[in-house]
Structure 1
Amino acid sequence: MNVGPSLVGDARIQEAGGAMHAEMYPRAVERLMADELLPVFPAVLVVGPRGCGKSTSMMRFADTTLDLSKPGDRLAAREDPDGVLAISDGTVLVDKWQEAPEILGAIKRAVDADRSRRPGRFIVTGSVRAAQQAATWPGTGRLIRVRMHGLTQAELQRDEHYNPVDALFRLGHVQFGPSEWSRHDYLEAITAGQFPVAVELSGRNRRRWFSAYVDQLIDRDALPVSGRAPHIQKLRSVLESCAARTGLELNKRATADDVGIDFKTADRYLSLLEDLCVTSRVPAWHTKRLQRLTRSPKIHLADTGMAAHLLNVDATSVGRDPMLVGQMFETFATNELSAHIETAQSETRMFHLRDRDGKEVDIVLESEGRIVGIEIKSSSVISHDDARGLMWLRDRVGDSFVGGAVLSSSSVPFQLNEHVWSLPLSALWRAPLPR
């Protein structure tokens, strides 16, 4: 058992690829934990992909840390989980719960036995999504779930307070300034990704880190989550197929054909990668006001840097591929917005929209009956044609439509049409101009 002191200055991150030095960046989730969750709830579950910074951030709040990746802590948690928690003082961080799932039942019992419901008693972190959805999941009603992502561009620039989701729901009432980011600047950020260690590396060292990350994910992490041993090479090939198809509608049959496996195995491996938090699905949006909408979700890799590594491309080669550059821009923007949805002022959900006639909107944000539509373009030149899907959506949902934005590598924001604007993609991390 380790007593977790407050962390200041640099953090030492020891995840896939060996010990690395990574600067401590301010995280919006830390602010959410400190201001809203820990003062109210007895137990909080923080999930996200391995290496996104969960452990480093949550140690800031812990008086006692149980690191279940360590043999001693893991054995104690498996053999006597109730006793381990009983002798742990203050706020207890249970790190990497999936290494000893028995600890979850003990947390449930501890929360139920505490009639005072003392807030901030337990923080649980893990890189596994699946168990939460099982009927026997012991955290139901006891663990408040928070999804943590890699570093947003705002956090990289040391601004954990700006939330572009909130700003987008105020379109027409805020004014964005011009951007100095070039198309190549965006491509460099896209291929660097969001993992705290990887963004500080470059060239061969970044590729080495991602190689170690994928090896750890496939060779070690997948087995305890899947329940039965996956075929290592085929699982890796499914991950590579997801990278090639990131930002597209999920097509399980096509993935099965890519890898040379049957449909059921492809379906199982796709779910396994989502359980490991390295892929995500954006569901299709539906409303009675629009007909003939498709129901297929879009699939995104959780990190565009990992996608670039799996596809063996860099910023220059991505920029030369008209299809891939659009996919990567969309996944990058989707991942940025997904991270900010977690800390938005109002509960917000993300969708994509496509009808059977080919009309589509890349991202639809919905909050309290209000709708924002977003198109993502890699081009630096934007015209009215790029906003056709947004204007179609606006005209059909009426007053529910707050506004639409075409986010691109253009540098100057301007209004394209009624309630529809062209904005630099950097509006996702550069706050509007003060009024």
Structure 2
Amino acid sequence: MKKYKPRIADELLKRKLKGIGAVLIQGPKWCGKTTTAEQVAGSVLYMADSGNEAQNLALAEIDPGRPLEGVTPRLIDEWQIAPKLWDAVRYEVDHCEGLGQFILTGSAVPASSEHIHHTGTGRFAWLTMRPMSLYESQESTGEVSLAELFESPDRITGTSSLGLDKLAFLVCRGS
């Protein structure tokens, strides 16, 4: 298994969990939502696990509270395939003491919002993740930041040990 590379989102997630009942992590596929959430989760339910997906969906349909059982913070990965879980999480947050009870991850909006009756206001915090930055992937020293480029472009200096081929690759690949 690959070693986890710390993300800027790690501290944001921990801070949000200390202040509210549930955190929804959104972002494009393969940006690290689940892996980041796994670092702080007390237990995990992978809704789209190919060996259990049908069972997970049936359980979420019959008794949406059952998939939420587990050590907190409980990570529900790909929650959106069972939209009833949204209101079940909201209900649990309202009726159980404590902050940081749930982390929901998903890269898509639910196929149907028919079963979602509440916006989540006051119960959920949103965290949007992006693909790993060059600093997070350790392909940049962070010596020069984008913010500094805009704030004081005349005072930016930095060096790179990367060759032209590697720099061209990173520019084309993006984050």
Identify the TM-score tier after normalising by the shorter chain. Answer: 0.7 to 0.9
3-state SS in 2 of match to 1:98: helix
Whether the 8 Å CA contact 1:27–1:160 is kept in 2: the answer is no
User: How many Å separate the matches in 1 of 2:76 and 2:173?
Assistant: 30
Q: Deviation per CA, 1:299-330, whole angstroms, max 9, x where unpaired?
A: xxxxxxxxxxxxxxxxxxxxxxxxxxxxxxxx
Q: Which of residues 89, 103, 121 in structure 1 aligns to 2:85?
A: 103
1:164 is matched with which residue?
A: 145
1:81 Cα deviation after fit = 1.0
Alignment CA distance shift 1:100-1:161 (3 Å): farther
How big is the shift at 1:50? 1.4
Q: What is the letter of the counterpart of residue 141 of structure 1? A: G
- Does residue 73 of structure 2 align to residue 94 of structure 1? no
Aligned residue in 2 for 1:53: 32
After TM superposition, the structure 1 = structure 2 runs for residues 36-435 of structure 1, keeping only pairs within 5 Å, are: 36-70=15-49, 71=53, 72-85=55-68, 87-114=69-96, 116=97, 118-129=98-109, 136=117, 138-157=119-138, 164=145, 166-168=147-149, 170-171=151-152, 175-181=156-162, 184-194=165-175
- Residue 171 of structure 2 aligns to a residue in which SS? helix
8 A contact 1:26–1:160 mirrored in 2? no
| Contact map agreement 1:61 1:91 (CA 8 A) in 2 | yes
Distance 2:129 2:84 in 1: 23
Change (3 A) 1:98 1:143: same
Secondary structure in 2 matching 1:93: strand
User: CA deviation digits over 1:346-391, x for unaligned, max 9?
Assistant: xxxxxxxxxxxxxxxxxxxxxxxxxxxxxxxxxxxxxxxxxxxxxx
Q: Deviations over 1:237-272 (max 9, x none)?
A: xxxxxxxxxxxxxxxxxxxxxxxxxxxxxxxxxxxx
Give % identity. Answer: 28
Q: Which runs of 5+ in 1 are unaligned?
A: 1-9, 12-22, 195-435
Structure 2: unaligned runs, 5 residues or longer: none
Q: Which amino acid aligns with 2:169?
A: E
**Higher normalized helix content (fraction of residues):** 1
CA distance in 1, matches of 2:40, 2:141: 17
Alpha-carbon distance change, 163 to 178 in structure 1, aligned in 2, over 3 angstroms? closer
Q: TM-score, normalised by structure 1?
A: 0.34
RMSD of equivalent CA atoms: 3.2
Letter in 1 for 2:104: V
Structure with bigger gyration radius: 1
Question: Equivalent residue for 1:377?
Answer: none
Whole-Å Cα distance in 2 between the matches of residues 84 and 139 of structure 1?
19
Aligned with 2:13 (options 33, 50, 53)? 33
Alpha carbons of 1:109 and 1:173: their partners in 2 closer, same or farther (altered >3 Å)? farther
Deviation of the 1:172 alpha carbon: 6.8
Tell me the matched-pair count.
169
Q: Which has the higher strand share?
A: 1
Secondary structure at the counterpart of residue 136 of structure 2: helix
Q: CA deviation at 1:73?
A: 2.8
So what's the TM-score if we normalise by structure 2? 0.78
